[in-house]
Amino acid sequence: MSTATVVGGGPAGLMAAEVLARAGVAVTVYERMPSVGRKLLMAGHGGLNLTHTEDLARFGPRYGDAADQVAPMLAAFSPDDLRNWCADLGEPTFVGSSGRVFPEAFRATPLLRAWLARLADLGVTVRTRQRWTGWAPDDGGLRFTGRDGATSDAAADATVFALGGASWPQLGSDGGWVGPFRERGVAIAPFRAANVGVRVAWSDVFADRFEGTPVKHLRLTVRGVDTDPVRGDAMVTRTGLEGGPVYALGAAIRQALDREGTCVLDVDLRPDLTVGQLTDRLGRRRAKDSVSTWLRRSTGLDPVAVGLLREASGGAVPDDAAAAAALITAVPVTVTGTMPIAEAISSAGGVTWSDVDGALMLRRLPGTFVAGEMLDWEAPTGGYLLQASFSSGVVAGHGALAWLRRGATG
């Protein structure tokens, strides 16, 4: 019987293990943490957004520069395939109003429990508290260090690595695998924080009043970077701004920060109205109206939106209707950096695409495959992250299986 080792017990690793075990391969999964699937469980705190229902023509470009590399993975294991897989586990899904897909249980625990039961039935062995530290110097086997500090080596006919990126290190993905991989000549793009909040130097007055307040229905654009605007809600934090629109523009924000050291987000507080329409509404100001009342009555801006206008204008919102309208549609918010990668939902960077083939096998290490966030891709929240992790695990699993079959036939 052929053997395979999967290093990393997240969605990508467990999916690769399932593909291999279904084909009769003896699979052992090694996981650094006391239990597998910890990032999946963390994602489940928000309802476990597994994937999205938009068509693949729109789905694929969500992966930015890696869209061409991710496309074959989505073809191999599509959003519909993922939903059917969940249903087969006894955890059917539903589609939210935004097109996002969730388990009907709206939690990760039942899905993970059913999945682990299936893997056990398939004969998959899971060994926890085993940190991979590199390759053994004598025979090239995989070296692991246990909780007690004792080392052990493991050999297999094929190996799938799914050790994650560098976000949420407390859940097991700390990027510690980079050193051993580089020693073997594998090219690694530096890790960067993705789906992460940005730093803004708010005034104390604004931060004290609006920390934890959402800015609703805005549209964000990164000034000076050719990218599409993004709509949604953002959250004011003590030190900046976070939320879906900020995350979706993460690559563009990093590009501007790398080039200039800072970047400007233009915030459109009323994206459904033109400057002309806003000017007309603001031109009807009553003499007795305060600035806040004027803005609220004319345009419906709430206190946090008015606060943003004051931040951008040094405390005094322009009295002129046309100037105020122009500011409302493009409030400049200066970003000085991103929050640390340890606070990011995901990470960009990882094994470069030129170092793996279409089956996700490392070109320098035949029989060794890579899946999940170890690869150099990123995507916004909304189901795209988990979908690519599952899909890459399927591709790596089938790649390892094909490698084993080639070896068996000579």
- What are the residue ranges of helices labelled H in 211-249? 244-248
Percentage of residues of the chain with pLDDT beyond 70 = 99
pLDDT at 43: 87
Position 97 confidence tier, pLDDT thresholds 50, 70, 90: confident
Q: For 149-229, where are the E strands, in sequence order?
A: 151-154, 158-161, 188-194, 198-199, 214-222
Distance CA 385, CA 286 (A): 50
pLDDT at 315: 85
Percentage of residues of the chain with pLDDT beyond 90 = 89
pLDDT at 196: 97
Distance CA 372, CA 161 (A): 9
Mean pLDDT of the 389-404 span: 98
pLDDT at 409: 58
Tokens of 328: 């409302």
Q: What pTM, to 2 d.p., does this model score? A: 0.93
Mean pLDDT of the 155-179 span: 94
pLDDT at 135: 95
Whether residue 408 has pLDDT greater than 80: no
Q: How many CB atoms lie within 10 A of CB 410?
A: 4
Mean pLDDT of the 297-312 span: 95
Whether residue 114 has pLDDT greater than 90: yes
pLDDT at 316: 87
Structural domain boundaries in the chain: 3-193+346-409, 198-338
Whether residue 410 has pLDDT greater than 60: no
Mean pLDDT of the 368-387 span: 96
Distance CA 3, CA 25 (A): 6
- Structural fold of domain 3-193+346-409: FAD/NAD(P)-binding domain (3.50.50)
Mean pLDDT of the 30-54 span: 93
Distance CA 265, CA 319 (A): 23
pLDDT at 289: 87
Mean pLDDT of the 382-397 span: 97
pLDDT at 287: 83
Whether residue 251 has pLDDT greater than 70: yes
pLDDT digits 0-9 by tens, 176-201: 999 999 999 999 999 999 999 999 99
Q: Name the DSSP class of 225.
A: S
pLDDT at 81: 98
pLDDT at 10: 96
Please identify which residue in the block is written with the tokens 């990218």: 227
pLDDT at 75: 96
The average confidence (pLDDT) of the chain is 95
Mean pLDDT of the 369-392 span: 97
Helix (H, G, I), strand (E, B) or coil at 241: strand
pLDDT at 59: 96
